[in-house]
Structure 1
Amino acid sequence: MRQAVVMAGGFGTRLRPLTIHRPKPMVPVLGRPIMEHVLLLLRRHGIRECVCLLYHQGEWIRNYFGDGSAWGMSLRYVQAEADYGTAGSVRNAADMLRNEPFVVISADVMTTIDLSAAIAFHRERQGMATLLLTRVPNPLSYGLVLTDSAGRILRFLEKPSWGELFSDTVNTGIYLLEPSVLELIPYRQEMDFGKDLFPAMVQQGLPLYGYVAEGYWRDIGTVGEYWQVHHDFTRGILVPEILGEQCGEHLWCGADVRIDPTASLRGRVILGDRVIIGPYAEVEDSVLGAECILGAGVSVRGSILWERVTVEAGAVISGAVVASGSIVGERSSVEEAAIIGEGCRIGADALIAAGVKLWPGKVVEDKAAVAYSLVQEERWTHGLFLNAKVAGKTNVEITPEFAARFGVALGNAFGAGTSVAVSRDAGNAARMIARALMAGLMSAGVNVVDLQVASVPQTRQELRTRRYAGGIHVRRSPRAAEQTEIVVFNAEGRDIPSGLAKTVERIFYGEDFRRAAAQQIGTLSFGERSAEGYIRHFLAALNAEVIQQRSFRLLVDYSGGLAANLFPMILGTLGCQAFAVNTYVDPLGRTPPLEESLVAEALRALGCELGVRIDYGAERITVFDRRGVWYSPARLLTLVLKLFLQTHRDQEPYVVAVPVAASAEVEEVAAEHGVRVLRVRNSHSAMMEATRDPAVRFVGGTRGDFIFPEYLFAADGMFSAAKLLEMLALTGWELSELDARLPRRYQREGLVPCPWERKGSVLRRALEHPVGSERLLIDGVKLIEPEWSVLIFPDRQSAAMVVIAEATTPERADAVLEEYTELVRQWQQ
């Protein structure tokens, strides 16, 4: 191969503040811009013609590399007018490529991969495309690839969650492509290689191969990865082509370097052109860019100094990055993991504490101590959003200051003049953060409708009126009591799409805030009729008459949560005689423990037909029958599904969706009605996504969460409880009688300690395990035999793997769990 396309359009959002004033490919690594290392790699393997795709601050790259002749290469440039995605951008440069195979490589990777060996593999396989793969300890940030023994790709998954892992083999972003691949990419339309093109090629059966490459590879997408490359160099793991001559065992010097004879240099050190090191200065395991000046007695250890940095006498820099043109005053100290942006001026005797980040151009006065970042974003180096939520420690990471700035970014993304609904739980922390968010939104010219205390389902229903550009819900995290979550919705009430989330992140990190003029500041109003609209829609989706005729007598536990505000009124309208406990709304979000024996005793004493517990957020339910028997979430799913199938025969054929962790009882029950079962990932977001298919009429979860798409595309605990009453009334079933008639399987669950970095390799070993007549790779790895199955997937919250065994007898389920628990331990070796 003679030609390559170099993807050089990245914003470098997660590398801020290092990328405020330069594009990510131009960030220096070991004395050179990252992109220069990439070009040298291509040249070493005989590839000298490159088309460079530019987008953000492209003039930096043009000015530095020119036509490439100084590097013995030929460089041409394409400046993108819009972000067409990785594949779409390459398609737009097709006219500049020869009609022959070419390499696609990112300009922000550090690698010593043998491209020649990969090219030989590509020629031997004669495929349309070959992806260069590598194995990494934490595969979450990369595209995951599954190949057969010949290297043909069977499955491709872009940036998986922990639950979606099935291997530790990832896509490096380096591709060898035949020109025919370009014919599959539409012109001037957004398309991504990993998310769109390659999965489509696999689905069409086109020859797509993966080559597991040896050698060093690291994607420099975050400050942490940037540091890791430096540490890998100082430990001898990375041996790149270094700028300058080797003037010592582990010392490389550029031209005209001046080192005082009394200075001390230890470890691996790179000095750029015209560096000056003064008397008694100490440099250890560090990189100094061109024209850096170290004064007398300066100490620089484990640090990266860009070009033209001046460190005055007696100053100490330990494990920090100091960007171009900055000055560190005499006797000042810059501590571990601090980052000093370009053009900063730190006065004499100042202290920059560990982890602090200074944005470009900041000035620190003499004798000042900076303990916090002047733009504090260190918590968010891996992106703000995770599954449409922003979460962090209350009043530590999620602070009013953060919320106000986040509100402005959201407001800019939604657009001035639009309306946004904001709701919260009853806690003081949620009230505080919601008000700060609303202030930020109004500052961006957005009109805010405050729904005040409302559940997520109620907020989603309000957004379905299409009067809003989006919505926000603030709550105490149901997973970690010390955290606050900010959940963001689109105009339909669904979770914010990834494209809009990236826009918000770009605005937030870039501080490119557009604030409204005084006369255009947004308004604040209250959604006074939101509850009325919710109840009206709720009742319209039910057969209220049949529930009223049944006159249910039930016990309702509100968990001290948000359902207590509305559900008593709904039950009254439905003619139910309800005995309620925990009817208060706890401002701290504390859920009382479930006392099964007390609930059973109360049910029997009150003569109730069933008991329902609604969780704090009003999204999930727990159910007891009249005997006081509690149904596990897995068994409850089987019962609710059977009731749904019996009461919706007129709509058949249709599809029901359940998580991969759900019991095989589901298929047995569905088969009786000729209904197909769709398995999805073990997450509420995956369940919601399934409702986009109009054939899906029911989605049941394994945590007491149920979705009835004709009512709402998300779980609503209050509606689930009412729908259960409707279906029981229509069929005449008692839960205990139905439970006795349905097929039963037995599940056992275990948690096996496993280091985070071994999770991917455990799943790869599970996939290679020669057992299981059927395999599911929807969420983790599920091995299926006629009499038993086992599901293995990473725990999202801890260093552990989850093992769920299921069998036709409890003894067999116990045995399968024991066997695979031991195998998971062995696979970590």
Structure 2
Amino acid sequence: MLCRGGRNPGGDDDMKALVLAGGSGTRLRPITHTSAKQLVPVANKPVLFYGLEAIARAGVTDVGIVVGETAAEIEAAVGDGSAFGLSVTYIPQPAPLGLAHAVLVARDFLGDDDFVMYLGDNFVVGGITGLVEQFRADRPAAQILLTKVSDPRAFGVAELDAGGRVIALEEKPEYPKSDLALVGVYLFTAAVHEAVRNIRPSARGELEITHAIQWLIDHRHDVRSTTISGYWKDTGSVTDMLEVNRSVLESAERAVEGTVDAASEIIGRVRIDPGATVTGSRIVGPAVVGAGTVIRNSYVGPFTSIAGDVHVEDSEIEYSIVLGGSRVIGVRRVEASLIGRNVEVTPAPRNPAAHRLVLGDHSKVQIA
């Protein structure tokens, strides 16, 4: 059953967007035990929101969001889409059975319209406007986005002919035929619906979108690719989240709207939101501090995002993401860390200097 938000007039009705936000985010656990991976914030804004903004900028306003077990959280964050200039329809996916399966369950929403499929936990610097415009002009059956990676074995991999046409795709191959990985943005005409109906689940039990695109190639449909040299990340791991956070903060602008006392030092591109308080502290940008947060007698280093209502006191933190409501008190150094919501980080109690012993006869004890 589809759950449709309000329609936003004035958009392009010839093309839709399908955003996938149903995965469980196992590589980001324990954060994703209690939160959807697409809503983990980068520079204090959920990753999913960057994708929705990119879709809106490309002139696509009719958006279906495929949701799973975190549906309620996704719907609460995105609403009817009007905050992004979008009309959003929620499409339940009973289980995460693959990207091609998401296309199957979205069939009623998509109809026979062209569409862009966007993985909700992916991040593409520069957006997708040019890609969408090129697809609208040429209308191949499928257009995929590729980027060179150091280890293609973890991705879907494309093989191109001498003219740059896609001739084969493999999903996570042991022996990749190229270093070109599929980025989580795809564009399709209605031809893809026949393809997803005619493929079978892979060894891991999923309907792979790479198999559907290969079906299109095998049946002589026009499949094209665009190789991007810009920045792309799948934010599925803590390391990737921190790297995307760094990338976004690189373009941050200085805006000190909170309260900063005379004993504090704010250096470089630091955003301090209204209601935040900084006392006796040093913050070196790029960094962002959310509303209602208190930074006291502490050092906040570059590439750090601290969400709202956080308390940092007598501590040092750098190259990290701290989510809302957490407390970091008396910790001399935290770096390269992802700290969830309502977490408390404090020093461990010191071991006593004396040892209290109860020993039986003929014992031997070594004390360090």
The interval holding the TM-score normalised by the smaller chain is 0.7 to 0.9
- Give the secondary structure class of the aligned counterpart of 1:198: helix
* Pair 315,157 (structure 1): closer, same or farther in 2 beyond 3 Å: same
Cα deviation 1:66-124 (Å, max 9, x = unaligned): 10112221111012222231111122111112532110001111113452322343345
Using the alignment, how far apart are the partners of 1:273 and 1:122 within structure 2?
Answer: 42
- Residue of structure 1 in register with 2:305 after alignment: 304
- Residue of structure 2 in register with 1:615 after alignment: none
* Pair 175,328 (structure 1): closer, same or farther in 2 beyond 3 Å: same
Using the alignment, how far apart are the partners of 1:307 and 1:39 within structure 2?
Answer: 22
- Give the secondary structure class of the aligned counterpart of 1:103: strand
- Residue of structure 1 in register with 2:178 after alignment: 167
Matched, 1:101 2:89: no
Matches within 5 A, 1:269-284: 269-284=270-285
Residue pair 2:270, 2:283 contacting (<8 A) in 1 also: no
Q: Give the 4+ runs in structure 1 shifted more than 6 A.
A: none
Matched, 1:86 2:85: no
- Give the secondary structure class of the aligned counterpart of 2:241: helix
In structure 1, what residue type is equivalent to 2:293?
C
Unaligned runs of 5+ in 2: 1-13, 352-368
Matched, 1:184 2:199: no
Using the alignment, how far apart are the partners of 2:344 and 2:83 within structure 1?
Answer: 34
Equivalent residues, number: 333
Matched, 1:29 2:42: yes
Using the alignment, how far apart are the partners of 2:345 and 2:229 within structure 1?
Answer: 43
What's the CA shift for 1:29?
0.5
Residue pair 1:281, 1:294 contacting (<8 A) in 2 also: no
What's the CA shift for 1:136?
2.8
- Residue of structure 2 in register with 1:46 after alignment: 59
Unaligned runs of 5+ in 1: 243-249, 351-364, 369-829
What's the CA shift for 1:204?
2.8
Using the alignment, how far apart are the partners of 2:130 and 2:248 within structure 1?
Answer: 24
- Residue of structure 1 in register with 2:11 after alignment: none
Residue in structure 1 matching 2:216, options 201, 210, 214: 201
- Residue of structure 1 in register with 2:124 after alignment: 111
- Give the secondary structure class of the aligned counterpart of 2:159: strand
Using the alignment, how far apart are the partners of 1:35 and 1:66 within structure 2?
Answer: 13
* Pair 286,16 (structure 1): closer, same or farther in 2 beyond 3 Å: farther
Matches within 5 A, 1:339-358: 339-347=338-346, 350=347
Q: Which is strand-richer, 1 or 2?
A: 2
User: Which TM-score applies when normalising by structure 1?
Assistant: 0.38
Aligned residues: percent identity?
26
Using the alignment, how far apart are the partners of 1:146 and 1:174 within structure 2?
Answer: 17
What's the CA shift for 1:184?
2.4
Matched, 1:262 2:263: yes
Residue pair 1:113, 1:214 contacting (<8 A) in 2 also: no
What's the CA shift for 1:272?
4.0
What's the CA shift for 1:54?
0.5
Using the alignment, how far apart are the partners of 2:21 and 2:273 within structure 1?
Answer: 24
Matched, 1:62 2:68: no
Residue pair 2:276, 2:293 contacting (<8 A) in 1 also: yes
* Pair 272,29 (structure 1): closer, same or farther in 2 beyond 3 Å: farther
- Residue of structure 2 in register with 1:217 after alignment: 232
User: Which TM-score applies when normalising by structure 2?
Assistant: 0.81
**Which has the larger Rg?**
1
Residue pair 2:298, 2:316 contacting (<8 A) in 1 also: yes
Using the alignment, how far apart are the partners of 1:119 and 1:339 within structure 2?
Answer: 34
- Residue of structure 2 in register with 1:327 after alignment: 327
How big is the alpha-carbon RMSD for the aligned residues of Structure 1 and Structure 2? 2.6
In structure 2, what residue type is equivalent to 1:110?
F
Using the alignment, how far apart are the partners of 2:24 and 2:274 within structure 1?
Answer: 28
Residue pair 1:8, 1:54 contacting (<8 A) in 2 also: yes
Residue pair 1:88, 1:188 contacting (<8 A) in 2 also: no
Cα deviation 1:790-827 (Å, max 9, x = unaligned): xxxxxxxxxxxxxxxxxxxxxxxxxxxxxxxxxxxxxx
- Give the secondary structure class of the aligned counterpart of 1:185: helix
- Give the secondary structure class of the aligned counterpart of 1:265: strand
What's the CA shift for 1:321?
3.3
In structure 2, what residue type is equivalent to 1:218?
K
In structure 2, what residue type is equivalent to 1:321?
I
Residue pair 1:41, 1:112 contacting (<8 A) in 2 also: no
* Pair 282,269 (structure 1): closer, same or farther in 2 beyond 3 Å: closer
- Give the secondary structure class of the aligned counterpart of 2:33: coil
In structure 1, what residue type is equivalent to 2:182?
N
- Residue of structure 2 in register with 1:780 after alignment: none
What's the CA shift for 1:21?
1.4
Residue pair 2:169, 2:211 contacting (<8 A) in 1 also: no
Cα deviation 1:392-436 (Å, max 9, x = unaligned): xxxxxxxxxxxxxxxxxxxxxxxxxxxxxxxxxxxxxxxxxxxxx
Cα deviation 1:427-485 (Å, max 9, x = unaligned): xxxxxxxxxxxxxxxxxxxxxxxxxxxxxxxxxxxxxxxxxxxxxxxxxxxxxxxxxxx
What's the CA shift for 1:15?
1.5
Residue in structure 2 matching 1:143, options 121, 131, 156: 156
Matches within 5 A, 1:218-257: 218-234=233-249, 236=250, 239=251, 250-252=253-255, 257=258
Matches within 5 A, 1:636-647: none
